Amino acid sequence: MKEIRIGILGFGTVGAGVVEGIQKNGALMAERTGIHPVVVKIADLDMTTDRGIALPEGVLTTDAMSVIADENIDLIVELIGGTTIARTFMLEALKLGKPVITANKALLADHGEELYQTARDNHTGIYYEAAVGGGIPILRSQRAGLVGNQIESIYGILNGTCNYILTRMEREGLPFDEILADAQQLGYAETPPDLDIDGVDTAHKAVILASMAYGAPVPMDACPVQGIRGLADQEISNADELGYRIKLLAIIKGNAGEVELSVEPAFVPKTHMIASVDDAFNAVFVKGDMVGDTMYYGRGAGRSPTGSAVIGDIMEAAADKLHGIGTPVSVTMMLQKDELKYGSPANIEKRCYIRLSLLDRPESMDKVTEILGRHHIGIASVTQKQGPKKGYASVVVLTHKAKEAEFVAAIDEINVLKVSDADPIRMRIEDFE
Amino acid sequence: MKEIRIGILGFGTVGAGVVEGIQKNGALMAERTGIHPVVVKIADLDMTTDRGIALPEGVLTTDAMSVIADENIDLIVELIGGTTIARTFMLEALKLGKPVITANKALLADHGEELYQTARDNHTGIYYEAAVGGGIPILRSQRAGLVGNQIESIYGILNGTCNYILTRMEREGLPFDEILADAQQLGYAETPPDLDIDGVDTAHKAVILASMAYGAPVPMDACPVQGIRGLADQEISNADELGYRIKLLAIIKGNAGEVELSVEPAFVPKTHMIASVDDAFNAVFVKGDMVGDTMYYGRGAGRSPTGSAVIGDIMEAAADKLHGIGTPVSVTMMLQKDELKYGSPANIEKRCYIRLSLLDRPESMDKVTEILGRHHIGIASVTQKQGPKKGYASVVVLTHKAKEAEFVAAIDEINVLKVSDADPIRMRIEDFE
Question: Looking at residue B275, which CATH number applies to its domain?
Answer: 3.30.360.10
Beta strand residue intervals within B75-204, DSSP E: 75-78, 100-102, 126-127, 151-157
Q: Do B63 and B86 belong together in one domain?
A: yes
Residue pLDDT, tens place only, B203-241: 999 999 999 999 999 999 999 999 999 999 999 999 999
The CATH code of the domain that includes B86 is: 3.40.50.720
Chain A residues with CB under 8 Å of B289 CB are 24-25, 304
Nearest-CA distance from B350 to chain A in Å? 25
Please give, one letter per residue, the 3-state secondary structure of B224-264. Answer: CECCCCCCCHHHHHHHHHCCEEEEEEEEEEEECCEEEEEEE
- Do the Cβ atoms of A308 and B149 come within 8 Å? yes
Nearest-CA distance from B215 to chain A in Å? 8
pLDDT of residue B77: 98
- Do the Cβ atoms of B295 and A298 come within 8 Å? yes
Chain B residues with CB under 8 Å of A308 CB are 145-146, 148-149, 288, 290-291
pLDDT of residue B1: 84
Q: Do A120 and A172 belong together in one domain?
A: no
pLDDT confidence tier of residue A332, bands split at 50, 70 and 90? very high
pLDDT of residue A188: 85
Q: Do B165 and B288 belong together in one domain?
A: yes
Q: Are A157 and A247 in contact (CB under 8 A)?
A: yes
Nearest-CA distance from A113 to chain B in Å? 16
Distance of alpha carbon A329 from alpha carbon A102, whole angstroms: 16
Q: Which residues of A126-163 are buried (b: 16+ CB within 10 A; e: fewer)?
A: bbbbbbbbbbbbbbbbbbbbbbbbebbbbbbbbbbbbb
Distance of alpha carbon B102 from alpha carbon B63, whole angstroms: 18
pLDDT of residue A256: 82
- Do the Cβ atoms of A304 and B311 come within 8 Å? no
- Do the Cβ atoms of A31 and B336 come within 8 Å? yes
Domain contains A363 = yes
Residues paired with A283 in a beta bridge: A157, A297
Q: Any idea of the CA torsion for B220, B223, B229, B234, to the nearest 10 degrees?
A: -170
Chain B residues with CB under 8 Å of A140 CB are 137, 140-141, 144-145
Of B136, B296, B304, the CB nearest to A290: B304
pLDDT of residue B240: 97
Domain contains A341 = no
Of B140, B288, B293, the CB nearest to A141: B140
Which structural domain, as residue segments, surrounds residue B408?
A: 348-429
DSSP B217: P
Distance of alpha carbon A1 from alpha carbon A34, whole angstroms: 5
Catalytic position from the list B98, B105, B205, B350: B205
pLDDT of residue B388: 82
Distance of alpha carbon A430 from alpha carbon A268, whole angstroms: 5
For A309, nearest residue in chain B (alpha carbons): B145
Nearest-CA distance from B219 to chain A in Å? 20
Instruction: Please state the rounded mean pLDDT for residues B178-182.
Output: 95
Residue pLDDT, tens place only, B281-329: 999 999 999 999 999 999 999 999 999 999 999 999 999 999 999 999 9
pLDDT confidence tier of residue A422, bands split at 50, 70 and 90? confident
Q: Which helix (H) or strand (E) holds A76?
A: strand A75-78
Q: Do A127 and A175 belong together in one domain?
A: no
Smallest CA-to-CA distance from A67 within A82, A79, A51 is with: A79
Q: Do A176 and A232 belong together in one domain?
A: yes
- Please, what is the Cα angle at B112 between B107 and B118, to 5 degrees? 115
pLDDT of residue A389: 85
Of B281, B288, B308, the CB nearest to A290: B308
Instruction: Please state the rounded mean pLDDT for residues A99-126.
Output: 98
Number of H helices, E strands in chain A: 14, 17
pLDDT of residue B190: 87
Gyration radius (Cα) of chain A, Å: 24
How many C-beta neighbours within 10 Å does residue B62 have?
A: 10
- CA-based end-to-end distance of chain A: 49
Cα A320 → chain centroid: 27
Smallest CA-to-CA distance from B259 within B144, B336, B158 is with: B336
Distance of alpha carbon B192 from alpha carbon B150, whole angstroms: 39
- Do the Cβ atoms of A291 and B304 come within 8 Å? yes
φ/ψ of A394, rounded to 5, equals -95, 115
Q: Do B180 and B244 belong together in one domain?
A: yes
Instruction: Please state the rounded mean pLDDT for residues A43-51.
Output: 95
Residues paired with B26 in a beta bridge: none
- Do the Cβ atoms of B140 and A140 come within 8 Å? yes
Q: Are B430 and B154 in contact (CB under 8 A)?
A: no
Q: Tell me the percentage of chain B whose pLDDT exceeds 90.
A: 94
- Please, what is the Cα angle at A224 between A223 and A229, to 5 degrees? 125
Domain contains B340 = no
Distance of alpha carbon A114 from alpha carbon B42, whole angstroms: 44
What is the pLDDT of chain A when averaged over all its residues?
96
* B188 pLDDT more than 90: no
Chain B residues with CB under 8 Å of A148 CB are 21-22, 25, 29, 307-308, 311-312, 315
Domain contains A367 = yes
- Do the Cβ atoms of B316 and A144 come within 8 Å? yes
Distance of alpha carbon A274 from alpha carbon A277, whole angstroms: 6
Q: Do A70 and A32 belong together in one domain?
A: yes
Query: Which SS3 state, helix, strand or coil, does residue B140 take?
Result: helix
Residues paired with A243 in a beta bridge: none
pLDDT of residue A373: 97
What is the pLDDT of chain B when averaged over all its residues?
96
Q: Do B314 and B370 belong together in one domain?
A: no
Query: Which SS3 state, helix, strand or coil, does residue B32 take?
Result: helix
The CATH code of the domain that includes A418 is: 3.30.70.260
Q: Do B167 and B272 belong together in one domain?
A: yes
* B378 pLDDT more than 90: yes
Smallest CA-to-CA distance from A266 within A310, A227, A324 is with: A227
In this prediction the ipTM stands at 0.97
* A73 pLDDT more than 90: yes
Instruction: Please state the rounded mean pLDDT for residues A27-55.
Output: 96
Distance of alpha carbon A329 from alpha carbon A126, whole angstroms: 10
pLDDT of residue A190: 87
Structure pTM? 0.97
pLDDT of residue B389: 84
- Please, what is the Cα angle at B40 between B35 and B326, to 5 degrees? 55
Q: Which whole-number Å values give the CA distances from B400 to B155, B244, B368, B428, in the listed order?
A: 20, 16, 15, 11
Domain contains A343 = no
pLDDT of residue B421: 87
φ/ψ of A139, rounded to 5, equals -70, -40
Q: Are strands B425-429 and A2-9 parallel, antiparallel or unpaired?
A: unpaired
Show which residues of A are catalytic: 205
Distance of alpha carbon B98 from alpha carbon B76, whole angstroms: 7
Of A22, A140, A304, the CB nearest to B141: A140
Q: Are A303 and A14 in contact (CB under 8 A)?
A: yes
Beta strand residue intervals within A322-401, DSSP E: 341-342, 349-359, 379-386, 392-399
Domain contains B342 = no
Q: Do A9 and A72 belong together in one domain?
A: yes
Q: Which residues of A273-286 are buried (b: 16+ CB within 10 A; e: fewer)?
A: bbbbbbebbbbbbb
Residue pLDDT, tens place only, A81-109: 999 999 999 999 999 999 999 999 999 99
Q: How many CB pairs under 8 A join A and B?
A: 204
- Do the Cβ atoms of B305 and A292 come within 8 Å? yes
Q: Are strands B244-255 and B258-269 parallel, antiparallel or unpaired?
A: antiparallel
Domain contains A117 = yes
pLDDT confidence tier of residue A297, bands split at 50, 70 and 90? very high
pLDDT of residue A56: 95
Domain contains A201 = yes
Alpha helix ranges (H) inside A187-294: 194-197, 200-214, 233-241
Instruction: Please state the rounded mean pLDDT for residues B339-351.
Output: 93
Q: Do A189 and A291 belong together in one domain?
A: yes
DSSP B423: P
- CA-based end-to-end distance of chain B: 49
Residue pLDDT, tens place only, A158-210: 999 999 999 999 999 999 999 999 999 988 888 899 999 999 999 999 999 99
Chain A residues with CB under 8 Å of B145 CB are 129, 136-137, 140-141, 308-309, 312
Q: Are strands A402-403 and B281-288 parallel, antiparallel or unpaired?
A: unpaired
- Counting the structural domains of chain B, the total is 3
Q: Do A311 and A214 belong together in one domain?
A: no
Query: Which SS3 state, helix, strand or coil, does residue A410 take?
Result: helix
